[in-house]
Structure 1
Amino acid sequence: MKSDVSRAAYYKWLSRKPSNREVENEAILRDIHLLYQQVDDIYGYRRIALTIKRQRKEKNQAVVNEKRIYRLMQVSGLKSVIRRKRKPYHKSPARHVAEHVLNRAFASEKPNEK
């Protein structure tokens, strides 16, 4: 079985160091996972972005773009869970009951007869 990657490229990839961007993405992703667990999977990327921006501003770290957080959440498979509260259904009593005039005889000879 022949692969498309050369042997030299494979071994170079194996001993490579992660870039600064990758290291920063991992740190952001750890923050995202921590926050996501704290809020019981309710927050979507917008709320997570707001909270992480606020946290990073307090720590005097670089602010992260909302799109980057969206991309990282998508890659890791994190989505918000929307729980809608539904009002219980209570059947209301009938206020006016019409007379049963037709007695299931629906056939008529002319239009507008019944």
Structure 2
Amino acid sequence: MSQSGYKVSDLVKAAGVSRQAYYKWLTHEPTVHDIQDQEILKLVKQLEAQHKHCVGYDKMTRLIKQKRLSYTVNKKRVMRIMKEHSVKADYRQPKRKRVQEQETYEAQNTLNRQFEQAAA
């Protein structure tokens, strides 16, 4: 930090974190859950590329469960990991027939503009 010319206390204030939290983060070791999440993320990215970005969290969970991991993986966990890393399925949008929509707004001209209005 001294190389950049700023004090740790100033940088911590700017980030809105305590100094204790910063130093704890420096020596942080990943937990078992974090390691498992990284492994799931690798599988998600691999399956995403394999299925051409068309897999949602439900099918992704089923595909990951087929890999027979040593720990359980549920939909919520896969959905959270996909959301954190902005992995989304690409769905095709349904095509709309705009010709039919325009036809519904056109009324038939049954009077042929020949009408007489009586007194109001």
Identity of aligned residues (%): 30
Unmatched 5+ stretches in structure 1: 92-99
Structure of higher CA gyration radius? 1
Unmatched 5+ stretches in structure 2: 1-9, 101-108
Give CA-to-partner distance per residue, 1:27-55, whole Å, 9 cap, x none. 10110011111111111100001111111
Q: Tell me, yes or no, if structure 1 residue 44 matches structure 2 residue 53.
A: no
Q: 1-side partners of 2:86 and 2:99: how far apart?
A: 39
* Secondary structure at the counterpart of residue 66 of structure 2: helix
Deviation of the 1:106 alpha carbon: 4.1
Give aligned pairs, total: 99
* Secondary structure at the counterpart of residue 81 of structure 1: coil
TM (norm. structure 1) is 0.69
TM (norm. structure 2) is 0.66
* Secondary structure at the counterpart of residue 17 of structure 1: coil
Alignment RMSD: 2.9
Q: 2-side partners of 1:13 and 1:90: how far apart?
A: 60
* Larger RCO (CA within 8 A; separation ≥ 6): 1
Stretches of 4+ aligned residues off by more than 4 angstroms: 84-91
Greater fraction of residues in helix: 2
Q: Tell me, yes or no, if structure 1 residue 18 matches structure 2 residue 30.
A: yes
